[in-house]
Structure 1
């Protein structure tokens, strides 16, 4: 069976700058109303509606109804993974200096439902260095017995995690750092636990993640990383 027509149609949907902006606004895994997505893309609500319909038909989005309101979200982690992978491909062109928000997003952000950016990569590298995670085939991470004990001590119920076909831990290529961060069920629960413990705070309006003073102290104690070392570890 020829898969080229499917690839080309999905590529066409993502290639439009307006639709790409709306998709990127949904990368934190949350559902958002059409008006908010229209604002993110800088278009009218009527124009946004047409774009959303195309992406729904193309399988990129799902729509949830709450009363008279409709909320849109990515169709699943596979869409988020595709977007992040495409974002890694960057042409060699001169770029304007990053804005304050862009720099903050590079430092720490949501990648659909797990931690990404400089912090996400640094944390993952520290987990590998300490022998808690071991890179495996098919872009997986194996969790060692020491790692399972560490995650349990952090407040994660490891036996309760339901593995996907790639297990409970997956390598996700970070589009700004061009290195891997932790994804999969363990990555999702890890970020949720860090937020619940007060180490991280999610922005209500974007994918931005803020690290609290308590969080930096915890990362330093548990993994030996701080804000300065995280920022310096980013590739140019």
Structure 2
């Protein structure tokens, strides 16, 4: 009897089964499911925005997000004084998609109030932000110009940027490269020294122009041609 009891306690499946039950329990709440479905668009949202789409109080949303965080279903990124939540990865999106296929109806996702002209292209400190910057970042990820986690330029990425004329600082005291969460697109654009170098290059080549006194950035005619050729962007 003692031997059988020992074998049961040492069963490696016991911990897995408990973890599975905890994840299932975390999903067994309509408010938490509503939050997860809102995050299915791939963007990151604040707790206030998620409370609106789930139709629950902000204090209640905080508790639900903590439960989802503890069970590895979402992750939290702090940027300045804001905290943004997103799905923990593609595997979670796949899990939710399968559940939706069985029983879930479409959910409403929050809509950003950022003006359209700022959503498209603007400055973020010394680097480019907005829809345009996010598309360039996605191109760099696809072409392996940056590492999978976005924290470093690859050898290919450095070669391409330097060939274009970007000046990278090998002795920078800031992060050489990092993903910066875009507050309107809720996806990442290129930050760090590499982001600043790219921004400086685009300005130097006269591919973008800044609106004096504002954060808005416009793409020039030559810039549309260049970005289509270099980053595969179809800019009207």
TM-score normalized with structure 1 length: 0.52
Contact 2:176 2:194 in 1 (8 A): yes
CA pair 93-132 structure 1, distance change in 2 beyond 3 A: closer
CA distance in 1, matches of 2:117, 2:141: 25
Aligned position for 1:202: 210
* Partners of 2:206 and 2:220 within 8 A in 1: yes
How far apart, CA to CA, are the structure 1 residues paired with 2:186 and 2:111? 17
Deviation at 1:147, TM superposition (A): 0.7
Report which structure shows greater RCO (CA 8 Å, sep ≥6): 1
User: Secondary structure of 1:225's partner?
Assistant: coil
Runs (4 or more) in structure 1 with deviation over 2 Å come to 85-89, 92-96, 157-161
Q: By percentage of residues, which structure has more strand?
A: 1
Aligned mates of 2:184, 2:85 — CA distance in 1: 7
Q: Cα RMSD between the aligned structures?
A: 2.8
Corresponding residue number in structure 2 for 1:8:
none
- Measure the CA separation in 2 of the matches of 1:176 and 1:185: 22
Question: 1:226 and 2:224 equivalent?
Answer: no
User: Unaligned regions of 5+ residues in structure 2, if any?
Assistant: 1-78, 87-107
Tell me, in whole angstroms, the C-alpha distance in 2 between the residues paired with 1:212 and 1:112: 21
Question: Which consecutive residues of structure 1, in runs of 5 or more, have no partner in the other structure?
Answer: 1-80, 229-236
Tell me the TM-score normalised to structure 2 length.
0.52
| Aligned residues of 2:123 and 2:215 also touching (Cα < 8 A) | yes
Q: 1:169 Cα shift?
A: 0.5
Question: Aligned pairs, how many?
Answer: 138
Once the 2 structures are TM-superposed, how far is the Cα of residue 141 of structure 1 from its aligned partner?
2.4
CA contact (8 A) 2:169 2:193 kept: no
- Please state if 1:121 is matched with 2:134: yes
Name which one, 1 or 2, has greater alpha-carbon Rg: 2
Q: Residue 122 of structure 1: CA displacement?
A: 0.3
